[in-house]
Amino acid sequence: MMMRQFFKYSLLVCVFVGMLSHVQAQDIGVADAKHKPCKHLLSLSHDNQQVVNSIADTLALNTFSIADSLRLNVDSLRQLDSTTIRMALLLPLHADAVKREKNMERFYDFYAGSLIAIYEQQAKGQRLEIFTYDIGKTTPRMNEVLQQYPIIHQLDVIIGPAYSQQVDIVLDSLCHDSVWVMIPFLSRVKNLTNNPFVMKFNPSEQIEADTIARYLAQRKDSVNCVLLETKPGEVIPSGIAALHQAIEQYQVPTSMISLKAILSDSIEGVFMPDKENIVIFNTERYANLQTVMPHLLKACGEYRITLFSHYSWQTEKIILPQLYTSVFTTDPVVPAGYEQLFEQYFDHTLSSYQPRYDLLGYDLTNYVITMIGKLKKNKATTITSEVWTGIQADIFFQPATRMSGYENNVVHIIHQ
């Protein structure tokens, strides 16, 4: 059943790509794990006429491994218009998997949103040449793709990969090329400081910590940050450590408390009755707070208590007020036209609604196409510092250091 659903989805994706009349692709091929051509779902000739195989031929794909079923094979020697943008998506689609892991579904959502952005960009007249590679999540797979397809070194921009080890390999391989790389899913990128063509969507832990600390400093007369004491030698998550340092730097009022004191309800003198007490724990896992939460709820009758939370906790049933950061806007307004296209071409249930990964793919793809188009037009090599507004994600890229790549500085604070 899962395999049949995947065939349906693959066909929809390929037919959808075939509608992109300015996508300069000769054919979308199906290949086995060694990249040998097997069968074409769709072909685009130079005059952009689409030829779709019969349903019988499509269903016959079950005799082939479909590891690269979404790959676009393109004649790299063809002369391109100077305004044409050559873009690749390096995603762990796991097209050859009989049953995909649940957390892999988000990459299909991301890819679907990216295709809709491509469709809309070409409708505006932007010429595109698109390559999609299913790179799994292993380093051997990433190395194999890079060796098999040297055209990657001639692109304008790449979106992906998703995993840190694969990102390191790609950036090392492209270190002498002027290929822009948008990293969608990671907060840390090792080569960011020495590659001026890297764009990292997720803000760093330091940017998030500074944003929170500034927000609290502006309210220092009405807040009291309650920090959990650390035991000697205890290692706390780097993001929490950065927040502790930023709070100290911005001189936000703080109190310290031990876990033992909370569990014994000995909080008098630490929690302030006339201030909002923002409790910051030494963990990023909500499961670690299960024994503590009843005691905090009990104290709510006497004190105003807010839990410093994390975006990943928003699927939990947390009764306490929360303060957390997010790179995504809350309650995005999705245009009806986008929803219609998604329903028309991608008949599947989204893996997540907070965030929606299809909207992330849509926003980031729109951004990179718009940005590369401007760079080509102006013959520039640096990104201008301006806020770009998407449906679900806003972007304000600034260099991490003087000669480094760029990282997003947009951090939304949710205080509820």
Average pLDDT, integer, range 388-399 = 94
- Average pLDDT value for residue range 41-58: 25
Residue 26: Cβ within 10 Å count: 15
Say if residues 396 and 408 touch (Cβ distance below 8 Å): yes
Kindly state whether residue 91 falls inside one of the protein's structural domains.
yes
3-state secondary structure the chain: CHHHHHHHHHHHHHHHHHCCCCECCCEEEEECCCCCEEEEEEEECCCCCEEECCHHHHHHHHHCCCCCCCEEECCCCCCCCCCCEEEEEEECCCCCCCCCCHHHHHHHHHHHHHHHHHHHHHHCCCCEEEEEEECCCCHHHHHHHHHHCHHHHHCCEEECCCCHHHHHHHHHHCCCCCCEEEECCCCCCHHHHHCCCEEECCCCHHHHHHHHHHHHHCCCCCEEEEEECCCCCCCCCHHHHHHHHHHHHCCCCEEEECHHHHHCCCCECCECCCCEEEEECCCCCHHHHCCCHHHHHHHCCCCEEEEECCHHHHHCCCCCCEEEEECECCCCCCCHHHHHHHHHHCCCCCCCCCCCHHHHHHHHHHHHHHHHHHHHHHCCCCCCCCCEECCCEEECEEECCCCCCEEECCCEEEEC
pLDDT at 314 over 60: yes
Count of residues for the chain? 416
pLDDT at 112 exceeding the cut of 80: yes
Percent of the chain with pLDDT over 70: 78
Residues 197, 317: one domain?
no
Distance from the first to the final alpha carbon of the chain: 43
Question: Is residue 328 within 8 Å of 412, Cβ to Cβ?
Answer: yes
Residues 41 and 95 sit within 8 Å (Cβ to Cβ):
no
Window from 63-67, 128-132, 308-312, 404-408 with minimum mean pLDDT: 63-67
Q: Are residues 123 and 195 in the same domain?
A: yes
Among the ranges given (74-83, 121-130, 172-181), the one the predictor scored with the smallest mean pLDDT: 74-83
Give residue 347's pLDDT.
67
- Beta-ladder partners of 125: none
- Across 124-135, b (16+ Cβ under 10 Å) vs e yields eebbbbbbbbbb
Residue 257 lies in a domain: yes
Question: Which residue from 28, 208, 247, 236 is spatially nearest to 131, judged by alpha carbons?
Answer: 28
> Higher-confidence residue: 68 or 324?
324
Total tally of structural domains belonging to the chain: 2
Confidence of residue 8 (pLDDT cuts 50, 70, 90): very low
* CATH label of the domain that carries residue 173: 3.40.50.2300
Band of residue 264 on the pLDDT scale cut at 50, 70, 90: confident
pLDDT of residue 30: 27
Indicate if 187 and 240 belong to the same structural domain: no
Q: Which domain holds residue 211?
A: 206-326
Please report the pLDDT score of residue 233 as a whole number. Answer: 67
Within a domain: 415: no
| Interval 227-236 mean pLDDT | 76
Q: What is the pLDDT of residue 72?
A: 35
Q: Are 395 and 201 in contact (CB under 8 A)?
A: yes
Q: Which amino acid is at 155?
A: L
Q: What is the predicted pLDDT for the residue at 181?
A: 96
Mean pLDDT for all residues in the chain: 79
Domain edge (last residue) among 277, 294, 326? 326
Mark whether 304 and 353 lie in a shared domain.
no
Q: Do 184 and 105 reside in the same domain of the chain?
A: yes
More reliable by pLDDT, 284 or 78? 284
Which range, 70-79, 159-168, 308-317, has the best average confidence (pLDDT)?
159-168
Among 90-104, 131-145, 224-238, name the one with the lowest average pLDDT: 90-104
User: Is a pLDDT exceeding 90 seen at residue 46?
Assistant: no
CATH code where residue 237 lies: 3.40.50
Among 274, 291, 326, the domain-final residue is 326
Q: Do 170 and 21 lie in a common domain?
A: yes
In degrees and rounded to multiples of 5, residue 332 shows phi and psi of -65, 145
The residue out of 281, 311, 326 marking a domain boundary is: 326
Task: For residue 408, report the phi and psi dihedrals to the nearest 5 degrees.
Answer: -70, 135
Q: Would residue 416 count as lying in a domain? A: no
In the predicted model, is pLDDT for residue 16 greater than 50? no
Dist. CA 364–CA 344, nearest whole Å = 22
User: What's the average model confidence in pLDDT over 20-25?
Assistant: 37
Residues 104 and 147 in one domain: yes
Q: What confidence category does residue 98 fall into, taking pLDDT thresholds of 50, 70 and 90?
A: low
Token digits of residue 316 = 């939990």
